[in-house]
Amino acid sequence: METLAVDHPLIAHKLTMLRDVHTDSPTFRRLADELVTLLAYEATRDVRVAEVTVETPLVPAQGVQLASPKPLVVPILRAGLGMLDGMTRLLPTAEVGFLGMIRDEGSLQAQTYATRLPEDLSGRQCYVLDPMLATGGTLAAAVKLLFERGADDVTAICLLAAPEGLKHMEQEFEGTRAPVRVVTAAVDSHLNDQGFIMPGLGDAGDRLYGVV
Ligand SMILES: O=P(O)(O)OC[C@H]1O[C@H](OP(=O)(O)OP(=O)(O)O)[C@H](O)[C@@H]1O
Ligand SMILES: O=c1cc[nH]c(=O)[nH]1
Ligand SMILES: [Mg+2]
């Protein structure tokens, strides 16, 4: 498993604003949207392309376009939805599947309550969107599900990751047949007793959409 913490002053600036408890929901949504677009630029560095020829107004020119089958973007509901527009802005022709997952506040175990994905993901590159990688239980379950359906390359884009969650992912996906990558804006210090990332930004879903 490969982890990339993207080191860029604009990303650090936006992440700092996102962490700020005084940042309201509309601003939080805008920042999450902007951040994912910046992270997606790095996360899609290995996106598969095919060579094409186009006609410029002057001559034919060699170029590339996204290869077939199209990449699949998978936001993990709820909080991952806040990253979807920022991702599809960069990959407008990607298809989108959905996973609804919630972490039990006591046991910290992830449960899947909704799955809307293509049955066959053979040969597909998948981009999972979830702002928080805490214990890693949610992301590990999501990646396993994609592999069970045949995905052969999974990149997760997370706004924040905890070392504990990255370790969990490394243990789960060490030596797997297909690459797994995590691209994040920062790796924070640790998890607190309630499984929250420290210093973190609180509950990403609540900050995007309110407490339900
Ligand atoms: O790494 P883990 O320990 O599994 O925790 C991370 C998960 O927790 C949050 O979702 P949450 O369960 O709060 O659901 P929500 O998006 O509906 O708020 C977050 O968006 C991740 O999906
Ligand atoms: O810090 C955390 C951990 C899990 N989920 C969140 O939204 N925030
Ligand atoms: Mg939440």
Backbone dihedral angles phi then psi of residue 123, each to the nearest 5 degrees: 75, 10
Q: Whose CA is nearest to atom 7 of ligand 2?
A: 203
pTM: 0.97
pLDDT in tens, 63-91: 999 999 999 999 999 999 999 999 999 99
Q: What is the pLDDT of residue 212?
A: 81
Evaluate if residue 52 carries a pLDDT over 90: yes
- Going by pLDDT thresholds of 50, 70 and 90, the confidence category of residue 177 is confident
Residue nearest to atom 8 of ligand 1 (CA): 103
What whole-number distance in Å separates Cα of residue 67 and Cα of residue 136?
Answer: 30
Q: Taking residues 177-198, what's their average pLDDT?
A: 96
Tell me the per-residue pLDDT of 113-142, one tens digit each, with 9 for 90 and over. 999 999 999 999 999 999 999 999 999 999
Measured from the CB, is residue 86 less than 6 Å from ligand 1?
no
Q: Is the CB of 159 under 6 A from ligand 1?
A: no
Interface predicted TM-score (ipTM) over 0.90: yes
φ and ψ at residue 54, rounded to 5 degrees: -120, 160
Report the pLDDT value the prediction gives residue 178, as an integer from 0 to 100.
84
Q: Which atom of ligand 2 is nearest to the CA of 198?
A: 1
8 A C-beta contact, residue 169 and residue 11: no
Statement: residue 175 has pLDDT above 90: no
Q: Which residues are CB-neighbours of 76 under 8 A, at least 6 positions away?
A: 99, 100, 101, 128, 129, 130, 138, 139, 142
- Quick one: three-class SS letters along 141-178? HHHHHHHHCCCCEEEEEEEEECHHHHHHHHHHHCCCCC
Can you tell me which atom of ligand 1 is nearest the CA of 102?
A: 12
From the CA of 7, how far away is ligand 2's center (Å)? 22
Residues 6 or more apart in contact with residue 27 via CB below 8 angstroms: 17
Ligand 2 atom with minimal separation from the 79 CA: 7
What is the SS3 assignment for 60? Answer: strand
Q: Is the CB of 132 under 6 A from ligand 2?
A: yes
pLDDT at 129: 98
Which residue's CA is the closest to the ligand 2 atom numbered 8? 203
With a 6 Å cutoff on the Cβ, whether 204 touches ligand 1 is yes
pLDDT at 176 over 90: no
The CA–CA distances, whole Å, from 164 to 22, 80, 192, 205 equal: 27, 20, 11, 20
Q: Which of 18, 78, 103 to mutate to test ligand 1, by most ligand atoms within 8 A of the CB atom? A: 103
26 band by pLDDT with thresholds 50, 70 and 90: very high
- Asked if 123 contacts 150 with a C-beta cutoff of 8 angstroms, the reply is yes
pLDDT at residue 105 is higher than 90: yes
135 lines ligand 1 (CB under 6 A): yes
Check whether 106 has a pLDDT greater than 90: yes
Mean pLDDT, residues 138-167 taken together: 97
pLDDT of residue 147: 96
Q: What is the pLDDT of residue 78?
A: 97
Is residue 191 lining ligand 1, measured as CB closer than 6 Å?
no
